[in-house]
Every structure is written in structure tokens, then in C-alpha cells.
Amino acid sequence: MITKTMSKEERLVVIKEVHQKWLKKQALRQRLAEGAKKVRKWTDEVEAPKRKKEKDAFDKLIDGYDTNHNQWTDGSKYLAEHYGDRAADQKSYESEWN
């Protein structure tokens, strides 16, 4: 820190120290910028995966409410597979008295 009571030589020494500190900081910034440039070059070669938008996930969730995952799409096949002859007997019984 420079004060009024310092001589010219003392002030020059302080200024040189501050200048050296500033040069070191600039050199560090330059090295970091060069490293960042290399990283940007690497990441530009392969496209990074994009994050899914929250709106898309919400829309997918809402669309999922319209589908019934518990629904068997082929009723006759379901009856035949799980109930077999019993379902056929019941169907014939119900059709007789109508």
C-alpha cells in the first residue's frame, strides 16, 4: 500500500510488486482460457445429450392417464386362457334362456 510518507523508490517497489501480481493473474487467466478452448473443441466434436424438458415429461404423464394398463385388449382370448371351459359353459347357459 502506498502512503504519502513513502519515498519515490519505495512507491516504485510497491508498484512493481503489484504489477508482478497482476501479471501472474493474467498468465493464470490465459492458461485457463486455453484449457477452456480445448474443452470446447472436444465437446463440439460429439454432441452432448440434451436434457429433456419438464413440459415434455409432464405432457407424457398426463397422456398416460388416458390409457388403462390393467385392461385386457382381447376379452375372448383372456377368458379362454384363464377360465377355459367354465367360461364356455356359462356362455352357453346364458344363451339358452334368452
Render pLDDT for 7-54 as a digit per residue (tens, 0 to 9).
Answer: 999 999 999 999 999 999 999 999 999 988 887 766 656 666 777 777
pTM summary value: 0.38
Backbone angle region of 84, left / alpha / beta, with phi > 0 → left and psi within -120 to 50 → alpha = left
Question: CA–CA separation, 46 vs 59, rounded Å?
Answer: 29
